[in-house]
């Protein structure tokens, strides 16, 4: 997160850190007791290794009550996701067991109605992604509030030039933006997850490249069917 602030501890108890060999790779969030939603492109540099999911954390390294690392039983990328574009950039992770819910570990509801969030709506995004252009990786969760920008503005030829589909949304990226390692985290508007951070043009803090999110509502059927099929 560029230009954000250290989050107040445990005000986002749904946040997950997707880790490989104890290293934070991407964000994610708890959508059910045994399921985390993240971004498919987070598996790009993992050559088939399975993530572990850290829940209940504020600091990535310090011991904290309710902080717990979960093994993953299944990692299911959306069938339409690919490395060439940002389409269908979603990843479902089934935990080995149901997460123990408490004040520091909670499920975040996601939007089920497929209707665009109005432009200028201020939403919140959080993550352990880089906090500087030099690539500083924070130990503590950072958060940021950003206004939604319309798809028409985001699709302008000087911005993302008509690559933003109706299954994506954008927020302003001038100075304050998502960055490497924030992918997979939720964009929360009025207490509901509306989007999932995607890397897009993989630049950060440049107003000409607004932050892009995969909208969740268009994928409700897929999310529900995967969770139902693997249930039990």
Ligand X SMILES: CC(C)CC(=O)Nc1cccc(-c2cccc(CN)c2)c1
Q: What is the DSSP letter of 217?
A: G
Taking the least distance from each CB to ligand X, the nearer of 92 and 204 is 204
Q: Does 202 bind ligand X (CB under 6 A)?
A: yes
Active-site annotation holds for 177: no
Active-site annotation holds for 132: no
Choose which of 88, 89, 177, 194 interacts with ligand X (CB under 6 A): 177
Q: Does 113 bind ligand X (CB under 6 A)?
A: no
């991407």: which residue's tokens?
26
| Residue range at the interface with ligand X (CB under 6 A); choices 10-18, 36-44, 91-99, 110-118 | 36-44
Choose which of 12, 204, 216, 217 interacts with ligand X (CB under 6 A): 204
Q: Does 40 bind ligand X (CB under 6 A)?
A: no
3 state DSSP class of 224: helix
Residue of 78, 88, 89, 104 marked active site:
89
Nearest by Cα to 146 from 169, 191, 177, 180:
177
Taking the least distance from each CB to ligand X, the nearer of 90 and 204 is 204
Total residues at the site for ligand X (CB under 6 A)?
19
Contact between 69 and 61 under an 8 Å Cβ cutoff? The reply is: no
Choose which of 38, 111, 131, 178 interacts with ligand X (CB under 6 A): 178
Q: How far is the CB of 216 from ligand X (least distance, A)?
A: 17
Q: Does 144 bind ligand X (CB under 6 A)?
A: no
């339409």: which residue's tokens?
80
What lies within 8 Å, CB to CB, of 134 at 6+ separation is: none
Q: How far is the CB of 110 from ligand X (least distance, A)?
A: 19
| Residue range at the interface with ligand X (CB under 6 A); choices 14-22, 41-49, 113-121, 157-165 | 41-49
Residue 56: phi, psi to the nearest 5?
Answer: 75, 20
Active-site annotation holds for 41: yes
- How far apart CA 30 and CA 3 sit, in angstroms, is 25
What lies within 8 Å, CB to CB, of 207 at 6+ separation is: 172, 173, 174, 175
Q: Does 185 bind ligand X (CB under 6 A)?
A: no
Let me know if 205 is exposed, middle or buried by CB neighbors in 10 A (0-12, 13-18, 19+): middle
Beta strand spans in 78-221 (E): 91-95, 122-127, 142-149, 168-171, 186-189, 192-198, 211-215
Contact between 123 and 188 under an 8 Å Cβ cutoff? The reply is: yes
Q: How far is the CB of 97 from ligand X (least distance, A)?
A: 26
State the residues that interact with ligand X by CB under 6 A. 25-26, 41-42, 44-45, 173, 177-180, 182-183, 197, 199-200, 202, 204, 211
Residues marked active site are found at 41, 89, 183
């Amino acid at each position: 997160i560029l230009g954000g602030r250290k989050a107040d501890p445990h005000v986002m108890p749904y946040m997950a850190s997707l880790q490989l060999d104890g290293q934070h790779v991407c964000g994610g969030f708890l959508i059910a007791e045994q399921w985390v939603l993240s971004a498919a492109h987070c598996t790009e540099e993992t050559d088939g290794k399975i993530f572990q999911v850290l829940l209940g954390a504020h600091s990535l390294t310090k011991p904290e009550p309710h902080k717990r690392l979960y093994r993953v039983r299944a990692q299911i990328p959306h069938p339409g996701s690919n490395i060439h574009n940002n389409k269908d950039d979603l990843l479902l992770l089934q935990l080995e067991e149901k997460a123990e819910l408490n004040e520091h570990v909670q499920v975040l509801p996601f939007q089920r109605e497929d209707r665009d969030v109005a432009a200028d709506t201020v939403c919140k995004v959080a993550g352990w992604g880089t906090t500087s252009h030099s690539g500083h990786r924070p130990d503590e969760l950072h958060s940021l509030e950003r206004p939604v920008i319309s798809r028409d503005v985001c699709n302008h030829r000087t911005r993302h030039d008509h690559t933003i589909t109706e299954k994506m949304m954008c927020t302003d990226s001038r100075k304050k933006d998502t960055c490497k390692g924030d992918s997979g985290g939720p964009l929360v508007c009025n207490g509901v997850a509306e989007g999932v951070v995607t890397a897009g043009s993989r630049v950060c803090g440049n107003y000409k490249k607004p932050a892009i999110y995969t909208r969740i509502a268009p994928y409700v059927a897929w999310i529900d069917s995967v969770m139902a099929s693997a249930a039990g």
